[in-house]
Structure 1
Amino acid sequence: MSIKRSYISSPTLTFAILCIGLGCIVAATLRQNLAIAALVAVLPALLCILILHLRKPERFIFLLFIFNYFFTPLARYSRQDGLSVLSDVIWWSVLLIIIIQTALRYRFPWKQAANILTIGGAALAVYCLMEVVNPTASLEAWIYSRGFIYNTFLVSLITVLLATSYKQIGRLMFLFSLLTLIAILKGFWQKFIGFDAIEYDVLMESGMYKTHLLPQITRYFSIFTDAGNYGSNMGFTCVLFGITGLFSKKPGLKTYYLCVSALSLYSMFTTGTRGAIVVPLGGLLLFALISKNIRLMSAATVGGICIYVFFAFTYAGESNYMIRRMRTAFRPNKDASYLVRKQNRQKLAEYLRNKPFGEGLGLGGVEARRFGNRLTTTIPNDSTYVKIWTETGIVGIILYLLIYAGSLLWGCYYIMFKVRNDELRHLLTALACGVFGMMLSAYGNAFFTQFPTGIMMIMFLGILMNGKYIDERLTIEKQQALLTATKKDSTL
């Protein structure tokens, strides 16, 4: 007796799924829920991308980078609450995929996770978890600050496991340059055409208009959270692509990166962020120290001195308000804003004198007023380090600085004395110089833990931590290529 197997043909199943999806889109559109309609529409493409990346999980690093970079405009224009939860889900899901792939015998360099940044990130996570029992802490504020608790550990671990080759890092830098150009173009749009309706609403509703719509200058913020974040990032890309372009062996790529660097420098000035000038200056300083090239060291030193003298001791270009505003960063004692910040820090120092563990996560800055009225929520955050000090105390800020400064110093040591491949050394040098400038600028601006900066800096530090592994792989690849070429020549 023969048994007939009933089945639904593949074309029939596909047609049914398409009809269901189309029906969901129509229903969501009729209910004016465009976010759900868009999600259903792009779901097939997202599933295809996921399947392709499961075969080569290293590609997840590019998707994570893009999502993080555009998180702020996504939240701004979608007007959807809880997107930070989506970010958490995506990052933890990628880590889960890596663990599953490891169980399925996919090779990841887990040994490289034993580095200052990842281990330090785990220690920071434990310390921040314990902050929940701080007598002055707020559970709601602590939950709201969950990203600060585990981002250093999570992002550095994923970066070390996925960013494993020189070609991959080179592609990531090129992708970053394209994203930077998008941000620059959006900044130009704001400057020459104006803010759109949503951006204007954000300025009004958040109170940003007080610091961005000034009588003599408008401070542009592009796709970033604010002008301070945008300006510092443009200073970072100026350093990163300036050094990368300087050492690039391909004429076309050299010209392209140097142009991106120049546009970034101009965009930095349009933000009116005075502390952002520290980023390229800090990058030049570190470049002069670790390049080990007398000519480059001399040129970087002379360039840095000239920039400092121009802003600190001359009045050239004083008629230009952007230059005049930047110049106040070099003459802080004459700047009213700096004097107010200094007074605020003195108040905080007195208040936190007997609080070595701080006020509690999420309780620093005026934006934390919704969690309660106290001194720390009446003083604006004008520094990332002051914010961390306020929330986690002297113990927390020391731990944080040891992790990040230690990671950067380790990376610089390896660049100077251990890297054998010049092309990798130049790329790591550009990253280290840019990150150093950003860490200096974070003293005067509270941007270092915001989107997209916070995660980007951890990723770039993670790449520095992986420098040894990438260098060894690149050396082996070169030896194999040389051996293959030798065999071909011998057969001819």
Structure 2
Amino acid sequence: MAQSASFLRNQFSNYFWLYTLAGGLYTIGMGFLVSRMGPVGAVAAIGAPIALLIVGLILMEPRFGLFVYLQLVFIIGFARFLPTSVPVGVLIDGLLFLILFSLFFNGQRMEWYRLRSPAFVLIGLWFLYTVIELLNPEAPYRPAWFLHVRAFSLQWFLVAMMVLVIPITRKDVQVMVNSWLGWSFFAALWGFKQQYFGLSQSEWIWLNSGGNAITHMLFGQLRCFSFYSDAAQFGAEMAGATLVAITRVFEEKAVKNKLFFAFLALVYFWGYAVSGTRSALFVMVAGFAFYLLLKRDIPKLVTGVVLAIPLILLLMFTSVGSSNYQVQRMRSAMTPLNDPSFILRLQNQAKMRAYLQDLPFGAGIGTSTDGGARFSPWHWAAHIAPDSWYIELWMETGRVGVTLYLLMLVGIVGLGIYQVWQLKDPWMVKVMYGFLAEFVGIAVMGYSNPVLGQFPTNGIIYISTMLIATCYRWDSRPATKPVVLDQHQSFVPAL
């Protein structure tokens, strides 16, 4: 130890002049930035060394990059508090390609044979289809393809590759789960701050720009959005976290653990309530029903149905709690045909059906929503709001594309069921039940909101689906030896 300390002191002394010169140049450069750019320059002065350190760590260890990605999909929500706009999508893309470069840079340590996973094959086929869509003759402006293909398939393809080939440990999985639940808890608290203490100046500016007030101030009531992109995204994440916490209440044996997750479930559920996102209710309804089926536990299935049916009937056929805005929003989700916005969605879908009748491959990726408004505002797809992830896919990739996408989702769920049913490790079973149920719930919500293509939900889904598909990697007491491809030979049992 003494020799190591002496060595470090000698090295520092020998290169003291270099460190002094570098520090002086950095100080002068950052001083120039602050004088020219003000607060933005100050942020750059502080952030540049941190960014360089993170880049270096990612190049040395791709696993660290995956952790950074998981945190970043939540952190980017704070971009609205910055004095200048930040291209968060480009930032995410840059991080993913940096991690991809690190994978090849550290290629000898990576488990490349796992890319033969059936789940990755499904995602790869969908990605290939979206690449072929670049040649769609109906696309009015081809460069717009890159704007939407990132959320459609590219980012999922890249993250799936990373989760598979990086030698992730059981402890890494635990860190990912805790990170998600921790960020969700913080987001719920932020939502409560908005609901009960009011919005900050930056949040008011966001609310009053781009028509956000129209969708987030209904009948004088705020739909809280926390630090997420919007209230729908916030509600979906809160509903998903509620579902995961509820599954842990059922799965945990110790009373203190049950109480802890019950507390989290209450916090997350009220976070969902203050978001006013009606469709997020189906994340919990569909996800919990799937969880009970996944358990193959008849008593718990009957108990869940007995508890759920009275609550649904109470919302559908009574006016109990209607004086509470959040309860009334949940009630309206159960009677969509009485909702003018839902009827408008059906009318828009009828219009799209007429346009797409002779377009089996759609109007081209990048023609609707923000891409269409920016690059082809004259096109019909830019003038019809899809209001749904699957409808957006239908518009841009056609009935062929949306069918392929849905088959991919069903295939991933089927593979997940098979892998989870093989697990014997109690903790891993709890985690994967929650992940799989949440994925199904979010997939159901995709009919009414584009949450599958927005952060942080899509980042969580990209990671969790691959964790589910290869959960046998961390099963300490495997029932059977699942078949995988070894990197040196054909199909062999995994050790």
Q: TM-score, normalised by structure 2?
A: 0.88
Give 3-state SS (helix, strand or coil) of 1:354's partner.
Answer: coil
Aligned partner of 2:135 in structure 1 is 133
Contact 1:125 1:153 in 2 (8 A): yes
Give 3-state SS (helix, strand or coil) of 1:145's partner.
Answer: helix
Contact 1:166 1:474 in 2 (8 A): no
Answer yes or no: is 1:305 the counterpart of 2:314.
no
C-alpha distance in 1 between matches for 2:307 and 2:117: 34
Counterpart of 1:337 (choices 341, 354, 366) is: 341
C-alpha distance in 2 between matches for 1:260 and 1:239: 10
Give 3-state SS (helix, strand or coil) of 1:381's partner.
Answer: coil
Answer yes or no: is 1:462 the counterpart of 2:471.
no
Contact 1:216 1:321 in 2 (8 A): no
Classify 1:331/1:83 alpha carbon distance in 2 versus 1 (closer, same or farther; 3 Å): closer
Aligned partner of 1:9 in structure 2 is 14
Contact 2:372 2:379 in 1 (8 A): no
Aligned partner of 2:483 in structure 1 is none
Q: 1:343-358 to 2 correspondence within 5 Å?
A: 343-358=347-362
Structure 1's unaligned 5+ residue stretches are: 1-6, 477-492
AA aligned to 1:61 is L
Answer yes or no: is 1:315 the counterpart of 2:319.
yes
AA aligned to 1:94 is I
Contact 1:221 1:227 in 2 (8 A): yes
Answer yes or no: is 1:217 the counterpart of 2:221.
yes
Q: 1:69-468 to 2 correspondence within 5 Å?
A: 69-74=74-79, 77=82, 79-102=84-107, 105-106=108-109, 108-137=110-139, 138-147=141-150, 148-162=152-166, 164-248=168-252, 254-365=258-369, 368-371=372-375, 372-416=377-421, 418-468=422-472
AA aligned to 2:368 is G
Report how far residue 419 of structure 1 moved.
1.1
C-alpha distance in 2 between matches for 1:193 and 1:23: 42
Contact 2:419 2:470 in 1 (8 A): no
Aligned partner of 1:487 in structure 2 is none
Counterpart of 2:33 (choices 28, 41, 52) is: 28
Give 3-state SS (helix, strand or coil) of 2:451's partner.
Answer: coil
Q: 1:465-476 to 2 correspondence within 5 Å?
A: 465-471=469-475
C-alpha distance in 2 between matches for 1:125 and 1:446: 18
Contact 2:124 2:157 in 1 (8 A): yes
The farther-off stretch of 76-85 and 452-461 is: 76-85
The farther-off stretch of 84-93 and 68-77 is: 68-77
Report how far residue 378 of structure 1 moved.
1.5
Contact 1:121 1:150 in 2 (8 A): no
C-alpha distance in 2 between matches for 1:244 and 1:63: 26
AA aligned to 1:287 is Y
Contact 1:357 1:395 in 2 (8 A): yes
Give 3-state SS (helix, strand or coil) of 1:358's partner.
Answer: coil
AA aligned to 2:282 is V
Classify 1:75/1:391 alpha carbon distance in 2 versus 1 (closer, same or farther; 3 Å): farther
C-alpha distance in 1 between matches for 2:289 and 2:128: 34
C-alpha distance in 2 between matches for 1:203 and 1:391: 29
Contact 1:164 1:470 in 2 (8 A): no
Could you give the per-residue CA deviations for residues 108-134 of structure 1, whole angstroms, max 9, x where no partner exists?
Answer: 332222234322222222222222222
Report how far residue 154 of structure 1 moved.
0.7
C-alpha distance in 2 between matches for 1:226 and 1:267: 13
Aligned partner of 2:62 in structure 1 is 57
Q: CA RMSD in A?
A: 2.4
Report how far residue 60 of structure 1 moved.
2.8
Report how far residue 163 of structure 1 moved.
6.6
The farther-off stretch of 55-64 and 467-476 is: 467-476
Report how far residue 390 of structure 1 moved.
0.4
Answer yes or no: is 1:41 the counterpart of 2:46.
yes
Give 3-state SS (helix, strand or coil) of 1:164's partner.
Answer: coil
C-alpha distance in 2 between matches for 1:153 and 1:473: 30
C-alpha distance in 1 between matches for 2:443 and 2:251: 24
Report how far residue 444 of structure 1 moved.
1.0
Classify 1:199/1:169 alpha carbon distance in 2 versus 1 (closer, same or farther; 3 Å): same
Classify 1:178/1:366 alpha carbon distance in 2 versus 1 (closer, same or farther; 3 Å): closer
C-alpha distance in 2 between matches for 1:219 and 1:83: 23
Classify 1:253/1:47 alpha carbon distance in 2 versus 1 (closer, same or farther; 3 Å): farther
Classify 1:327/1:333 alpha carbon distance in 2 versus 1 (closer, same or farther; 3 Å): same
AA aligned to 1:91 is L
Structure 2's unaligned 5+ residue stretches are: 1-11, 481-495
The farther-off stretch of 393-402 and 125-134 is: 125-134
Classify 1:52/1:128 alpha carbon distance in 2 versus 1 (closer, same or farther; 3 Å): closer
Q: TM-score, normalised by structure 1?
A: 0.88
Report how far residue 366 of structure 1 moved.
6.6
C-alpha distance in 1 between matches for 2:308 and 2:464: 24
Report how far residue 365 of structure 1 moved.
3.0
Report how far residue 52 of structure 1 moved.
4.8
Classify 1:367/1:268 alpha carbon distance in 2 versus 1 (closer, same or farther; 3 Å): farther
Classify 1:78/1:436 alpha carbon distance in 2 versus 1 (closer, same or farther; 3 Å): farther
Contact 2:234 2:275 in 1 (8 A): yes
AA aligned to 1:118 is F
C-alpha distance in 2 between matches for 1:470 and 1:115: 16
AA aligned to 1:123 is L
